[in-house]
Amino acid sequence: MNGVDESEWNEARDLDLRGLKCPLPALMTAKALRSMAEGEGVAVVVTDPLAPLDLRHLCQRDGHEVRAERAHENGARQLLIRRGPR
């Protein structure tokens, strides 16, 4: 996860889920990933402290990849997720 450059973040779709509580961030991320092509990325911003864990479980279960995670403004977290094979 350390080899991600800024261009990968910039090319990803933005999904702002700040203020939403579990399970909504995972459900909305799963819905967004279903509409994407394999290899596409989405940058998800969440404020729920449990959401990064839920998103990691979603990716593990459904074959997607969490490429990176970083701090975002006002205590939010941002995860870069790559769509896995269908």
Q: Which of the following CATH numbers is that of domain 6-82: 3.40.1350.10, 1.20.1050.10, 3.30.110.40, 3.40.640.10?
A: 3.30.110.40
* Catalytic residue, candidates 4, 22, 24, 45: 22
Q: Is the pLDDT of residue 71 over 70?
A: yes
pLDDT at 86 over 60: yes
Q: Can you give the residue ranges of every domain in the chain?
A: 6-82
The answer to whether 59 is a known catalytic residue is: no
Residue 85 confidence (pLDDT): 93
Residues 80 and 7 sit within 8 Å (Cβ to Cβ): no
Instruction: Quote the pLDDT of residue 2.
Output: 57
Render pLDDT for 39-70 as a digit per residue (tens, 0 to 9): 999 999 999 999 999 999 999 999 999 999 99
Q: Which run of H or E residues covers position 81?
A: strand 77-82
- 31: nearest Cα among 73, 60, 62: 62
